[in-house]
Amino acid sequence: MSQLPNKHHRPEATYRSCSQSLPLDILWLPRSSFRPAEGELADCVLVVGVSRPKLAAALLSVTLLSLFLTFHVLYDSALYSIQAASMASAASENRKMLLSQESDTRTISHPMALRKRLRPPKQPRPARRLPQALIIGVRKCGTRALLEMLYLHPMVQKASGEVHFFDRDENYALGLEWYRSKMPLSFKGQITIEKSPSYFVTPEVPERVRAMNSSVRLLLIVREPVTRAISDYTQLRSRATPSVPAQSQSTGQAIANTAKPFEHLAISPDGSINVAYRPIAISLYHAHLHRWLEVFPREQILVVNGDQLIEDPVPQLRRIEKFLGLEHKIGRKNFYFNETKGFYCLRNDTTDKCLRETKGRKHPRVDPTVVTKLRKFFIQHNQKFYDLVGEDLGWPED
């Protein structure tokens, strides 16, 4: 009986037919050497074996380098994707925050604009600034009261005392930096005000003020001239002392003058008005204002009615706030009438304040005929002043 051939059996010749001559050490084995599998199979299986060490090392290096490059590309790709997603999320959050903080929807085309908008604001710092407004006079017309009233405004800072920078040569020689050092600390946007009443009557002052700031605002407070002259005399008399230094003849003469009655000082022995007497000379407002109007335009000088400021401060202060470009902040809530002193005192959110005892001192009695004579003398001078300021202040003429 003939024997059927096994399908997994291969004749010996097959081994010889699988042998090939290749440059590598490669072994071809017959399929029958492995586990049988269903279906038609190839006659030979390739088994690679590298018997040369240098070639094996080269192949291993190439394989490892390929794996490294593959993993590096995959890592960079994953990292870029994560960063892109994070940046997109942050940009979305910034846009939401910006839209929630702003009522308007303006488009920002430049990336620096968004950076500036999100940057926290710098804290303002106070500094000493040269005054933007000056109370130039007039003496005994309420300059101190005016300054204290304006100081009620939150946007006003004041010099603590009369600096006398422009009217005293020894101070002016020290320069603007010395003057600045006498000013209070203020924030940007606030107005610094200094007052020295003798500025108004000192000839050199207008040019010196313009040299500092040609756009400075000037406040000139005036009162009825005869009343002002009597008030001036009253203050000079209160400062007189009984002892006179022997070496000071001029000082002795001034004290001797204050010892005389006002009538004897204001009226010359021949019955004419003594215009050389300083309280009378200062009340000739038009003579001094002329010098200022030669240097500054009229719109930079505000004339404040001192008599009305005493009787009702608020209307005059409203005019001043507008003149200085300030919002109206000072009102009747800031004042109360002091029955003992006879004038208004100041009030803010924390305290009440009246001027010093030396302010509002009682005037001596002056002969009514002298008062009438002085008022008649001042009629023409007052009219010249009215013409300069463009306003009739209605001062009495008898």
Query: In the chain, where does DSSP find H-type helix?
Result: 12-18, 53-101, 111-118, 143-150, 169-172, 176-181, 205-212, 225-238, 249-259, 262-266, 278-282, 285-293, 306-311, 313-323, 368-389
SS3 label, residue 20: coil
Cα dihedral 298, 304, 307, 310, rounded to 10, equals 180
> Six-digit token pair at 218?
């000037």
359 labelled binding-site residue: yes
The residue assigned the tokens 């204002």 is: 289
Instruction: Supply the DSSP string of 150-192, one letter for each residue.
Output: HTTSTTEEE-SS---TTT-HHHHTT-HHHHHHTSPEE-TT-EE
Alpha-carbon span 372 to 342, nearest angstrom = 25
Flag whether 360 is marked binding.
yes
223 carries a ligand binding annotation: yes
Compute the distance between CA of residue 262 and CA of residue 243 in angstroms, rounded to an integer: 21
The verdict on whether residue 142 carries a ligand-binding annotation is: yes
SS3 of residue 123 by DSSP: coil
Residue 362 labelled as part of a binding site: yes
- 231 labeled part of a ligand binding site: yes
Query: Is 140 considered catalytic here?
Result: yes
Q: Is 116 annotated as a binding residue?
A: no
The single residue of 54, 140, 333, 341 carrying the catalytic annotation is: 140
Burial group, residue 32, by CB count within 10 angstroms (0-12, 13-18, 19+): middle
- Is 175 annotated as ligand-binding? no
Question: Which residues are part of a known binding site for 3'-phosphoadenylyl sulfate?
Answer: 140-144, 223, 231, 344, 359-363
Positions marked active-site: 140
Write out the binding residues. 140-144, 223, 231, 344, 359-363
